[in-house]
Structure 1
Amino acid sequence: MVERRPLLTVLTHLTLVLGAGFVALPVWIAFVASTHGPSDFLSGLMPMWPGDRLLENYWQVLSRGESTAGAPPIGLMLVNSTIMALGIAAGKITVSLLSAFAIVYFRFPFRLAAFWIIFLTLMLPVEVRILPTYEVAASLGLLNSYAGLIMPLVASATATFLFRQVFLTIPDELTEAARIDGAGPMKFFRDILLPLSRTNIAALFVILFIYGWNQYLWPLLVTTDASYYTAVMGIQRMVAVPDSEPLWHLIMATAILAMLPPVVVILLMQRLFVQGLIEQEK
Structure 2
Amino acid sequence: MPAEAAPHRQGPRPDWVAHAVLLLGVLLFFLPIWIVLMGSTHDAATIGRGEVPLLPGGHALENYRAALEQGGAGVPVGRMLFNSTVMALAIAVGKIAISIISAYAVVFFRFPFRQLAFWSIFITLMLPVEVRIFPTFKVVSDLGLVNTYAGLIIPIIASATATLLFRQFFLTIPDEFVEAAKMDGAGPVRFFLDVVLPLSRTNMAALFVILFVYGWNQYLWPLLVATSADVETIVIGMVKMIGSEANTDWNIVMATCVLALLPPVAVVVLMQRWFVKGLTETEK
1:22-61 matches, within 5 Å, as: 22-61=28-67
Q: Which residue of 2 aligns with 1:280?
A: 282
Q: Distance in 2 between matches of 1:172 and 1:47?
A: 61
Work out which of the residue numbers 207, 210, 213 in structure 2 matches 1:210: 213
Could you list the structure 1 runs, at least 4 aligned residues long, displaced by more than 6 angstroms after superposition: none
What is the letter of the counterpart of residue 35 of structure 1? Answer: T
**Change beyond 3 A, Cα 1:71–1:17:** farther
Q: Distance in 2 between matches of 1:72 and 1:218?
A: 19
Per-residue displacement from partner, 1:182-211 (whole Å, max 9, x unpaired)? 001011001100000100000000000000
Q: Which residue of 1 aligns with 2:270?
A: 268
Q: Which residue of 2 aligns with 1:5?
A: 12
Q: Distance in 2 between matches of 1:278 and 1:201?
A: 13
2:200 is equivalent to residue 194 of structure 1? no
2:255 is equivalent to residue 249 of structure 1? no
Gaps spanning 5+ residues in structure 2: where? 1-9
What is the letter of the counterpart of residue 40 of structure 1? Answer: T
How many residues are matched?
Answer: 275
Per-residue displacement from partner, 1:232-276 (whole Å, max 9, x unpaired)? 00000011x259432111111000000000000001110110011
- Secondary structure (helix, strand or coil) at the match of 2:42 reads coil
Q: Distance in 1 between matches of 2:22 and 2:47?
A: 32
What is the letter of the counterpart of residue 142 of structure 2? Answer: S
Work out which of the residue numbers 106, 119, 137 in structure 2 matches 1:134: 137
- Secondary structure (helix, strand or coil) at the match of 1:186 reads helix
Q: Which residue of 2 aligns with 1:229?
A: 232
Q: Give the deviation of 1:281 after TM superposition.
A: 2.5
Structure number with larger C-alpha Rg: 2
Q: Distance in 2 between matches of 1:190 and 1:169?
A: 17
Q: Which residue of 1 aligns with 2:5?
A: none
- Secondary structure (helix, strand or coil) at the match of 1:232 reads helix
Q: Distance in 2 between matches of 1:103 and 1:62?
A: 46
Q: Distance in 1 between matches of 2:94 and 2:47?
A: 43
Q: Which residue of 1 aligns with 2:6?
A: none
Decide which moves more: 15-24 or 258-267: 15-24
Work out which of the residue numbers 144, 149, 153 in structure 2 matches 1:150: 153
1:84-103 matches, within 5 Å, as: 84-103=87-106
Identity of aligned residues (%): 57
Residue pair 1:71, 1:237 contacting (<8 A) in 2 also: no
What is the letter of the counterpart of residue 274 of structure 1? Answer: V
Q: Which residue of 1 aligns with 2:166?
A: 163
Q: Aligned-pair RMSD on alpha carbons?
A: 1.5
Q: Distance in 2 between matches of 1:85 and 1:42?
A: 34
Residue pair 1:219, 1:229 contacting (<8 A) in 2 also: yes
What is the letter of the counterpart of residue 41 of structure 2? Answer: T
Q: Give the deviation of 1:141 after TM superposition.
A: 1.3
What is the letter of the counterpart of residue 89 of structure 1? Answer: A
What is the letter of the counterpart of residue 266 of structure 1? Answer: V
Q: Give the deviation of 1:123 after TM superposition.
A: 1.1
**Change beyond 3 A, Cα 1:184–1:203:** same
Per-residue displacement from partner, 1:148-199 (whole Å, max 9, x unpaired)? 1110011100000000000000000110110111001011001100000100
TM (norm. structure 2) is 0.93
Gaps spanning 5+ residues in structure 1: where? none
What is the letter of the counterpart of residue 5 of structure 1? Answer: P
